[in-house]
């Protein structure tokens, strides 16, 4: 089975990638599967900058093809926040519940029709002596007044998806993959995936 390294320690993201890559017979590995400890500081000001930074640094250290994902939530009423700070919006501890509580508090006085938001994702693929490529996707929705559902991770419990008429956390992994920002980015990637796997090589 072919393997690809996803430059993340986030188990929630890993599950999303497993669902998305499974139809292609590709086994997903993450930084948790490696013996060495690799931690790349996200200093970029955009999702694309952070994705490229992570992919290129891990690929440089390991000498293999790496796919990095940077994603987050943009809320129009908060001028695009939390954006690239989505994972650590309530502090460096990266606590999902604390992040959600902060968003709900900040939107407490915002009417329903002004709570528009989107999940945005950028995938970056890097490898030794190869040009880094990026693919992006987004998913439009609204921020709810309270949590719904127990699936997913991050802001999924408060993100309402009009196309499914449910919160993201109420969707199955397969349903989420159909409409998610990460799924949209992968849809752009998948046509080039076989060629990229061949040119970059794969984890042994």
pLDDT attached to residue 181: 92
List, for residues 59-80, the tens digit of each pLDDT value.
Answer: 888 888 889 989 999 999 999 9
pTM of the model: 0.82
Task: Look at residue 204 and tell me whether its pLDDT is greater than 50.
Answer: no
pLDDT attached to residue 89: 96
Residues of each annotated binding site for substrate? 8-13, 71, 153-156, 176, 181-182
Tell me the CATH number at 49.
Answer: 3.90.950.10
Where b means 16+ CB within 10 Å and e means fewer, 56-86 reads bbbbeebebbbbbbbbbbbbebbeebbbbeb
Residues of each annotated binding site for Mg(2+)? 41, 70
State the average pLDDT over residues 33-39. Answer: 79
Is the separation of the CB atoms in 149 and 171 below 8 Å?
yes
pLDDT attached to residue 44: 87
Interatomic CA distance for residues 149 and 12, integer angstroms: 15
Please name the helix (run of DSSP H) or strand (run of DSSP E) that holds residue 52, with its range, or none.
helix 47-62
Residues of each annotated binding site? 8-13, 41, 70-71, 153-156, 176, 181-182
Which amino acids are annotated catalytic? 70
Task: Look at residue 39 and tell me whether its pLDDT is greater than 90.
Answer: no
Is the separation of the CB atoms in 98 and 90 below 8 Å?
yes
Task: Look at residue 135 and tell me whether its pLDDT is greater than 90.
Answer: yes
* Averaged pLDDT score across all residues of the chain: 88
Is the separation of the CB atoms in 121 and 71 below 8 Å?
yes
List, for residues 95-121, the tens digit of each pLDDT value.
Answer: 999 999 999 999 999 999 999 999 999
List, for residues 148-181, the tens digit of each pLDDT value.
Answer: 999 989 999 999 999 999 999 999 988 998 899 9
The residues, ordered by sequence, that sit 6+ positions from 17 with a Cβ below 8 Å of its Cβ are 6, 28, 67, 69, 182
- The residue among 184, 147, 142, 145 whose CA lies nearest residue 165 is 142
Count of domains in the chain? Answer: 1
Q: What is the extent of the structural domain holding 37? A: 2-200
Task: Look at residue 1 and tell me whether its pLDDT is greater than 70.
Answer: no
More confident position, 41 or 88: 88
């Amino acid at each position: 089975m072919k393997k690809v390294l996803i430059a993340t320690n986030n188990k929630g993201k890993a599950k999303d990638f497993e669902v998305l890559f499974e139809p292609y017979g590709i086994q997903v590995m993450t930084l948790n599967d490696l013996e060495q400890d690799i931690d790349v500081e996200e200093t970029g000001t955009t999702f694309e900058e952070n994705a490229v930074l992570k992919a290129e640094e891990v690929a440089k250290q390991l000498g293999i093809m790496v796919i990095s994902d940077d994603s987050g939530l943009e809320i129009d009423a908060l001028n695009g926040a939390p954006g690239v700070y989505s994972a650590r919006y309530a502090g460096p501890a990266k606590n999902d519940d604390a992040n959600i509580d902060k968003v709900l508090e900040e939107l407490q006085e915002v009417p329903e029709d002004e709570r528009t938001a989107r999940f945005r994702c950028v995938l970056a693929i890097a490898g030794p002596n190869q040009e880094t490529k990026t693919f992006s996707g987004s998913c439009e929705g609204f921020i709810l007044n309270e949590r719904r559902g127990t699936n997913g991770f991050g802001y999924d419990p408060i993100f309402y998806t009009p196309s499914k008429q449910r919160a993201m956390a109420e969707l199955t992994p397969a349903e989420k993959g159909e409409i998610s920002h990460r799924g949209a980015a992968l849809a752009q990637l998948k046509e080039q995936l076989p060629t990229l796997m061949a040119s970059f090589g794969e984890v042994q």
